[in-house]
Structure 1
Amino acid sequence: MTAAPRLAPGDPAPDFELTDDHGNPVHLADLRGQRVILYAYPSAMTPGCTKQACDFRDSLDSLKAAGLAVIGISPDKPEKLAKFREKESLTFPLVSDPDKSVLSSYGAFGEKTMYGKTVTGVIRSTFVIDADGKIEKAQYNVKATGHVAKLRRDLGLD
């Protein structure tokens, strides 16, 4: 597998309809008119993904106040996402992409380096999608710890 194609500011955000942690469909097109943070993470209930999800949870009020909705996306099944949401008191949707087609369309699935080896998997990434459905920011290979604080600075919220 080669490197996944990467999105850049101004590109249209690939539309999707995925199932969330409550078993409900989430359709990106339904969120037009507001800005959306879509963040891709490898696996629920792992230390880094938990830290990142909790950072988004803890910043959610100020992100909402700035007109931003947050959605987490991973290949986990909705049942695992529901356990993750409950365990960590997450208050934003987590969507399931088990075939990784949406992750791939965002360039967030492909080859990456992990512990010095090249592997294929979810590339921890964050996308800010504007109210018209275009990519405002595309950040790849982000760190789980400290990423939300950096994103807030990049968005001029801090």
Structure 2
Amino acid sequence: MTIGDRIPDVLGIDQNGREIRREDYRGRKIVLYSYPKANTSGCTAEACSLQAHKEDLAALGYEIIGVSRDSQALQKKFADAQGLEFPLIADVGTDLLQALGCWGEKVACGRRTVGILRTTYLVNEEGVIEKIFTPKEIKTKIHAEQILDYLKTEA
């Protein structure tokens, strides 16, 4: 997906077994972010950064949704362990990840693999992507600050 595209109607099932749909967020903005693996250092840092700034993002009209290939049970364990108060979609079949374009070839430690490309999409009230943070741009420990800085420059 690229800027100007509408996110899919059905995003998936979250850690609590709830179906997450684009329509659920009509009139609200979304920070939709993909991460490779729950309970790993980088993904935990990113999730905690977003949780720590959840109210700052909410003040600007944004809600947070995470997505990875992890199972619903692992997403639940991750959310509970880190005190995450936002949906984490368990996209085990990678349908959403592929639709978003954040599933593909990557190089880690000199090895080529296929997997999740850490990406963040800022989505407007109509479900349309307005900004994409690519894997090379994202700094996991301060990712929420990166988003907030971007939003301040756009205001």
Give the TM-score normalised by structure 1.
Answer: 0.90
CA contact (8 A) 1:73 1:96 kept: yes
Structure 2 CA distance for aligned equivalents of residues 91 and 80 of structure 1: 15
Aligned to 1:42: 36
Percent of aligned pairs with the same amino acid: 33
Aligned to 2:150: 154
CA contact (8 A) 1:70 1:92 kept: yes
Structure 2 CA distance for aligned equivalents of residues 85 and 51 of structure 1: 13
Equivalent pairs, count = 152
- The gaps in structure 2 that reach 5 residues or longer are none
Q: Does 1:85 align with 2:79?
A: yes
Q: Relative to total residues, which structure has the larger helix share, 1 or 2?
A: 2
Structure 2 CA distance for aligned equivalents of residues 71 and 17 of structure 1: 10
Q: Does 1:71 align with 2:65?
A: yes
Matches within 5 A, 1:23-42: 23-42=17-36
Helix, strand or coil for the counterpart of 1:126?
Answer: strand
Q: Does 1:107 align with 2:101?
A: yes
1:116-143: per-residue Cα shift (whole Å, max 9, x none)?
2221000000001101111111122133
Q: Does 1:129 align with 2:112?
A: no
- The gaps in structure 1 that reach 5 residues or longer are 1-6
Give the TM-score normalised by structure 2.
Answer: 0.92
Structure 1 CA distance for aligned equivalents of residues 78 and 141 of structure 2: 18
Q: CA deviation at 1:24?
A: 1.2
The partner residue of 1:117 within 87, 91, 111 is: 111
Structure 2 CA distance for aligned equivalents of residues 69 and 80 of structure 1: 22
Structure 1 CA distance for aligned equivalents of residues 36 and 11 of structure 2: 19
Q: Which runs of 4+ in 1 moved over 4 A?
A: none
